[in-house]
């Protein structure tokens, strides 16, 4: 009997070696592309990045900052993007020489704190509800550049990284540096700046770091660092460059002589003829030198005559020598010796820094004595020195208020504090009312501001204002234009427009009515009509109204007043003390209101242009 060819054959038994292996689940939607050792190595690397960022932020913001790695995990790029709020602060970092880019995302609370601090505030954190403005993005960019510049130190063990800031995005959906399903390694760092707390996320796509995966092991990192130290590619303390200069010492002066120094005074240099000079580093003398003749007339050489700080210089040099001579000692003994010698060297350097501070104070005194004729202007600026933001003294403050009205309150406070008081008051009146008190409080408590931040603000403002100043637009429309039109229109049209406007926009209707007939227009009425009006006007209002009017208007009013009352009113007017302009304007408006009421009641007739009174 032939076998049935259609029957399904039983699968062969699985080889014993294959069956013994453990079965591991594999998620094709979220594959694990980084091993635990690689994740751990990335965490170690970015602990260094966190420490360097702590130092950079503390120095840049002049306040205590602390950053540390909270977690390192792998996930898809889509999961990361969906977890970021909108708006946010995302920096796209080009990871040269690696392919692709990385993302540095800063919590909005931290961004607000950084902006507030850079503009002279105390670091108040607020959750922003809008994207960064051009000025805010400019100062945040300088902060992120400082953070990114510390990445090469953290990545030095695996590659010579040359990162650069490629751009800043506020909407996470616009930062699609890799496909949504691409795996990334996410370094989450907890940060505290002043009283503000938040997260800083550093997203590294798999495609960017793929070529470095074999190096992301603790064994490679530490062995590579030892190799770089052995080859001298990692600088030691003794090999750090120090700025140095050669100078000639002047004679010692008494304080009385020093106080009389001024421009053009002569100071003796006792050893200049002998060619004796001093090599200084960090403002402190290190070596004594003697000038020698050289074959080249344009070049001078110096020979060493005395080592003034030989012991301090030898300390750093003996550190490496001690390590070599103690090969038989344990590592602990060598490190203990190195620590003692390093502490001694640091104490010596600390002393030299103190001396340098004293020299800087002496230099400041010398500059004052040298230029006694220069006075220091208000605001800490010397006479003749350009005041920051002083170029924005434009007569129309509406333009400046429009640009800074939507900015951070601390930025508004900073700009107003540098403007001329008159312009600053005008801008303060134009910004939203709910910001005025906060802005004034910030002006009272404003802190020092970095010159770099001031330059960034000036640069952006100049760019914005130059757009409007490049072409002048003629003024059109406005309340004055509407009033002129209504003055030329028929009385029925004027009345209908004003009544309708009172229902839709009472404030605007009141402004139009005020401008349609002002107090100075009283000269357009005949004397009989004005006499009727003055009978219904309070005497106090009349005295205030004529106090700040042209002489011809005042003379016309006195002609409409009974003669027996003129001298008494003039005497009362002379006895009036200083009067606020607002009180005068209010009195004039009350008189205009009386004229308008009497016109509507038919008691008087106010002639319009082109009208004739029958």
Distances (CA, A) of 365 to 330, 354, 372: 53, 17, 11
Assigned domain for 479 exists: no
Task: Name the least confident of 103-112, 390-399, 502-511, 589-598.
Answer: 390-399
Q: Which residue has the higher pLDDT, 314 or 20?
A: 20
Specify the pLDDT at position 368: 44
What would the pLDDT profile of 224-264 be if each residue is shown by its tens digit? 655 655 555 555 555 556 777 888 777 887 877 777 777 77
Same structural domain, 294 and 319? no
Same structural domain, 548 and 416? no
Specify the pLDDT at position 323: 42
CB-based contact 138:125 (threshold 8 Å) = no
Same structural domain, 505 and 569? yes
Give CA–CA dist 549/556, Å, rounded.
11
**Percent above pLDDT 70 for the chain:** 70
Specify the pLDDT at position 519: 79
Assigned domain for 378 exists: no
Q: What is the mean pLDDT of residues 565-587?
A: 85
Render 350-411 in DSSP notation, one character per residue.
HHHHHHHHHHHHHHHHHHHHH-TTPPBPTTS-BTTPPPTTGGG--S-HHHHHHHHTTS-HHH
Residue from 190, 209, 175, 28 nearest 91 by CA:
175
pLDDT of 10 above 70? no
Give CA–CA dist 458/289, Å, rounded.
47
Specify the pLDDT at position 103: 94
Residue entry with tokens 């002043």: 194
Q: Domain ends where: 468, 502, 537?
A: 468
pLDDT of 144 above 90? yes
Structure tokens at 200: 């800083």
CB-based contact 136:170 (threshold 8 Å) = no
Q: Work out the mean pLDDT of the chain and round it to a whole number.
A: 76
Same structural domain, 160 and 105? yes
pLDDT band at residue 407, thresholds of 50, 70 and 90?
Answer: confident
Task: Name the least confident of 52-66, 154-168, 309-323.
Answer: 309-323
Assigned domain for 259 exists: no
Task: Name the least confident of 38-42, 266-270, 539-543.
Answer: 266-270
pLDDT of 563 above 80? yes
Same structural domain, 210 and 278? no
Residue from 287, 256, 206 nearest 33 by CA:
206
pLDDT of 22 above 70? no
The CATH number linked to 73 is 3.40.1550.10
Assigned domain for 243 exists: no
Residues 50, 56, 61, 62: what is their CA dihedral angle, to the nearest 10 degrees?
110
Specify the pLDDT at position 25: 61
Can you list the pairs that 449-454 forms with residues at least 24 positions away whose Cβ atoms lie under 8 Å?
Answer: 449/118, 449/119, 449/120, 449/414, 450/118, 452/142, 453/118, 453/119, 453/139, 453/142, 454/388, 454/389, 454/418
What would the pLDDT profile of 159-179 be if each residue is shown by its tens digit? 889 999 999 998 888 888 899
Identify the DSSP state of 610.
T
Assigned domain for 348 exists: yes
What would the pLDDT profile of 465-483 be if each residue is shown by its tens digit? 766 555 555 656 777 778 7
pLDDT band at residue 330, thresholds of 50, 70 and 90?
Answer: very low
Specify the pLDDT at position 185: 94
pLDDT band at residue 597, thresholds of 50, 70 and 90?
Answer: confident
Assigned domain for 611 exists: no
What is the count of structural domains for the chain?
A: 5
Q: Which residue has the higher pLDDT, 521 or 491?
A: 521
pLDDT of 369 above 90? no
Most confident of 3-7, 19-23, 142-146, 289-293: 142-146
pLDDT band at residue 101, thresholds of 50, 70 and 90?
Answer: very high
Q: What is the mean pLDDT of residues 400-429?
A: 84
Give SS3 for 40: helix
Assigned domain for 103 exists: yes
Same structural domain, 411 and 427? yes
Residue entry with tokens 């001329």: 420
- Residues 414, 417, 418: CA angle, nearest 5 degrees: 95
Give CA–CA dist 197/111, Å, rounded.
10
Residue 267 CB neighbours (<10 A): 10
Same structural domain, 291 and 326? no
Specify the pLDDT at position 26: 52
Structure tokens at 339: 């620590």
CB-based contact 177:92 (threshold 8 Å) = yes
Assigned domain for 420 exists: yes
Residue from 459, 380, 414, 409 nearest 141 by CA:
459
Q: How does strand 183-193 pair with strand 65-76?
A: antiparallel
Same structural domain, 576 and 588? yes
Angle between helix 409-418 and 421-430 (nearest 10): 150
Same structural domain, 304 and 318? no
pLDDT band at residue 384, thresholds of 50, 70 and 90?
Answer: very low
pLDDT of 329 above 50? no
Most confident of 201-215, 314-328, 412-426, 512-526: 201-215
Residue entry with tokens 């005020």: 514
Same structural domain, 320 and 297? no
Specify the pLDDT at position 206: 92
* In 266-354, beta strands by DSSP E: 276-281, 284-292, 301-307
Same structural domain, 363 and 284? no
pLDDT band at residue 450, thresholds of 50, 70 and 90?
Answer: confident
Specify the pLDDT at position 188: 96
Task: Name the least confident of 291-305, 554-568, 598-612.
Answer: 291-305
The CATH number linked to 441 is 1.10.220.30
Q: Which residues contact 25 (CB under 8 A, 6 or more apart)?
A: none
Residue entry with tokens 């970092």: 93
Same structural domain, 113 and 55? yes
Specify the pLDDT at position 189: 96
Residue 585: give the domain boundaries. 492-601
Give CA–CA dist 23/455, Å, rounded.
62
């Amino acid at each position: 009997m032939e076998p049935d060819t259609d029957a399904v054959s039983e699968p062969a038994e699985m080889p014993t070696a294959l069956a013994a292996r453990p079965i591991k689940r594999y998620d094709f939607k979220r594959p694990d592309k980084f091993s635990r050792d690689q994740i751990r190595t990335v965490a170690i690397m970015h602990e260094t990045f966190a420490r360097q960022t702590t130092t950079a932020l503390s120095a840049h913001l002049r306040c205590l900052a602390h950053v540390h790695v909270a977690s390192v995990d792998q996930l898809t790029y889509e999961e990361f993007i969906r977890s970021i709020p909108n708006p946010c602060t995302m920096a796209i970092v080009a990871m040269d020489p690696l392919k692709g880019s990385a993302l540095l995302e800063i919590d909005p609370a931290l961004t607000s704190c950084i902006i507030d601090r850079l503009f002279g505030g105390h670091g108040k954190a607020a959750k922003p509800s809008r994207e960064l403005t051009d000025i805010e993005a400019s100062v945040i960019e300088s902060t992120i550049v400082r953070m990114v510049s510390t990445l090469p130190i953290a990545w030095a063990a695996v590659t010579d990284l040359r990162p650069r800031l490629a751009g800043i995005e506020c909407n996470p959906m616009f930062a699609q540096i890799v496909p949504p399903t691409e795996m990334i390694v996410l370094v989450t760092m907890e940060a505290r700046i002043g009283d503000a707390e938040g997260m800083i996320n550093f997203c590294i796509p798999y495609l960017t770091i793929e070529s470095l995966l074999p190096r992301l092991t603790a064994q490679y990192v530490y062995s590579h660092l030892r190799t770089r130290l052995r080859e001298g590619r990692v600088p030691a303390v003794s090999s750090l460059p120090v700025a140095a200069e050669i100078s000639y010492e002047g004679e010692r002066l008494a304080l009385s002589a020093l106080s009389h120094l001024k421009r053009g005074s002569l100071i003796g240099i006792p050893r200049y003829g002998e060619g004796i000079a001093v090599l200084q580093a960090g403002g402190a003398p290190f070596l004594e030198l003697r000038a020698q003749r050289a074959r080249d007339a344009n070049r001078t050489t110096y020979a060493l005559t005395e080592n003034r700080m030989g012991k301090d210089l030898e300390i750093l040099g003996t550190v490496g020598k001690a390590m070599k001579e103690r090969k038989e000692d344990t590592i602990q003994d060598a490190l203990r010796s190195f620590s003692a010698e390093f502490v001694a060297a640091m104490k010596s350097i600390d002393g030299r820094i103190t001396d340098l501070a004293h020299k800087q104070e002496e230099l400041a005194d010398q500059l004052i004595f040298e230029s006694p004729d220069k006075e220091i202007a208000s605001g800490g600026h010397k006479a003749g020195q350009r005041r920051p933001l002083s170029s924005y003294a434009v007569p129309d403050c509406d333009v400046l208020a429009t640009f800074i009205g939507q900015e951070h309150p601390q930025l508004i406070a900073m700009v107003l504090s540098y403007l001329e008081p008159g312009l600053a008051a005008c801008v303060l009146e134009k910004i939203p009312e709910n910001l005025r008190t906060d802005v004034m409080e910030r002006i009272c408590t404003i802190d020092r501001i970095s010159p770099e931040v001031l330059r960034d603000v000036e640069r952006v403002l100049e760019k914005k204002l130059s757009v409007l100043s490049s072409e002048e637009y003629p003024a059109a429309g406005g309340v004055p234009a509407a009033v002129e039109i209504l003055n030329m229109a028929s009385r029925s049209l004027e009345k209908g427009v004003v009544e309708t406007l009172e229902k839709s926009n009472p404030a605007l209707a009141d402004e139009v009515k005020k401008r349609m007939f002002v107090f100075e227009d009283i000269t357009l009425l005949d004397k009989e009509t004005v006499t009727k009006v003055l009978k219904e006007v309070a005497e106090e209002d009349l005295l205030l109204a004529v106090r700040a009017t042209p002489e011809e208007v005042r003379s016309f009013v006195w002609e409409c007043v009974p003669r027996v009352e003129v001298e008494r009113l003039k005497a009362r007017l002379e006895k009036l003390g200083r009067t606020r302009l607002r009180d005068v304007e209010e009195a004039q408006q009350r008189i205009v209101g009386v004229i308008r009421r009497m016109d509507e009641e038919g008691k008087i007739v106010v002639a319009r242009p082109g009208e004739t009174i029958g």
